[in-house]
Amino acid sequence: MPALQICYHDHCFDGVASAATFLRFYRDKVRPVPDPALKGMAHKAGQLFSEEAFAGEENAVVDFRFSRDPRLTWWFDHHQSAFETAADEAAFRADRTGRKFWDPAAKSCTRFLARTVEAKFGWDPSPLRELIDWAEVIDGALFPNPQMAVTLTDPPMQLMLLIEATKDPELCPRLIRELSVRPLPEILREPWITGPLSPLLARHHEVVKLVTARIRLQGGVATYDLADLGVDTVNKFIAYAADESTIYTVSVSRGPNRSKISLGSNPWRQEQRRHNLARIAERYGGGGHPAVAAISFPPDQLDQARTAAAVIADELRS
Ligand SMILES: [Mn+2]
């Protein structure tokens, strides 16, 4: 049994950064575990936590949903849709361990976690400063303009792409271990990062062109369907870079494990957002944040996903 197991939001910069930050904190302030187990978690239709999710002596979940399982000992999240049921939320509210934390107003789980354990346990976040700051920028979409989020000229933005697009199951766990002990800029120069990045960057620039060509903008809502591409995650900002008058995006994609609707709102036009996207997604069993959310369908229910996407796009136009 591993002394510590960390479940984190997989293929997400904030999920990876939260896991690295938690690992550093845990070793600095709780106990120096040599070899934690790291488990990437994905949203999907149906049961999220398998039996192996809580296989450690201590089990942490970061940037991902709450679980009532008594084996869960640490939890940090900032998703509005953190609780699958009212009973889960009641269990969180009744928790007296002082080790489970939720702030749906936090821009990133990473900075929320860092400032929480700094205040409650006297942890020093300064060795991970760059990582924490970039997680806040990326997960909070605090970019100065949509071009920065689409051209990916900054190395940490390229790392975001690598984390989102990699098919190597060892890459995120390795990153978490390295980011917990070394500064971000140093890791960004490593060949095991720059090597796999170059084909992904080339592919990214192709996808940007392809998505831009497919976008249909109507009534402030950009819709596009990428189900034929077989990609689970596509850069969220392409539509805003393509036409800055876009207020919402509704896209359909299909990865190996799910068909997915992604809902977004223009970070540079939040004053025009009239809908809570997490609430809309929750009606279909999905979730997220007021400004960005997603709905997972079983992989064979692409038609249902497309129908629901059309209904939601109409609702956002009204
Ligand atoms: Mn997050």
Amino acid identity, residue 173?
P
Count of domains in the chain? 2
- Tell me which of 158, 177, 192 is where a domain ends: 192
pLDDT digits (tens, 9 = 90+) for 163-197: 998 999 999 999 999 999 999 999 999 999 999 99
Q: Is residue 200 part of a domain?
A: no
Instruction: Report CA(163)–ligand 1 centroid distance (Å).
Output: 13
CA torsion, points 216, 206, 8, 267, in degrees to nearest 10? -40
Q: Report yes or no on whether pTM surpasses 0.85.
A: yes
Distance from Cα 318 to the centre of ligand 1, integer Å: 29
Task: List strand residue ranges (DSSP E) for 47-90, in order.
Answer: 58-62, 74-77
220 and 129 in one domain?
Answer: no
- Domain check: are 155 and 234 in the same one? no
Whether residue 273 is contained in a domain is answered as yes
Is residue 201 in some structural domain? no
Q: Are residues 34 and 105 in the same domain?
A: yes
Task: Judge if 132 and 238 occupy the same domain.
Answer: no
* DSSP state letter for 79: -
The domain that holds 11 is classified in CATH as: 3.90.1640
Kindly report the CATH number assigned to the domain that includes residue 246. 3.10.310.30
Residues measured by CB to lie within 5 Å of ligand 1, the ion: 14, 63, 109, 139
Contact 168, 195 (CB under 8 A): no
Per-residue pLDDT of 76-116, as tens digits, reads 999 998 999 999 999 999 999 999 999 999 999 999 999 99
Classify residue 285: in a domain, yes or no.
Answer: yes
* Residue 199 in domain: no
Mean pLDDT of all residues in the chain? 95
> For a pLDDT cut of 70, what percent of the chain falls above it?
100
CA of 37 to the centre of ligand 1 (A): 20
Taking the centre of ligand 1 as the mean of its atom positions, its distance from the CA of residue 78, in whole angstroms, is: 7
Give the contacts of 260 (CB within 8 A, at least 6 positions apart).
232, 252, 253, 254, 294, 295, 296, 297, 305
Looking at the structure, do residues 219 and 187 belong to the same domain, yes or no?
no
pLDDT band of residue 48 (cuts 50, 70, 90) is: confident
* Ligand 1 mean position, distance from CA 221 (Å): 24
**Shared domain check, 227 and 152:** no
Angle, CA of 246, 251 and 254, to the nearest 5°? 160
- Report the first-to-last Cα separation within the chain, whole angstroms: 54
Asked whether residue 203 is domain-assigned, the answer is: no
The parent domain of residue 256 ranges over 215-317
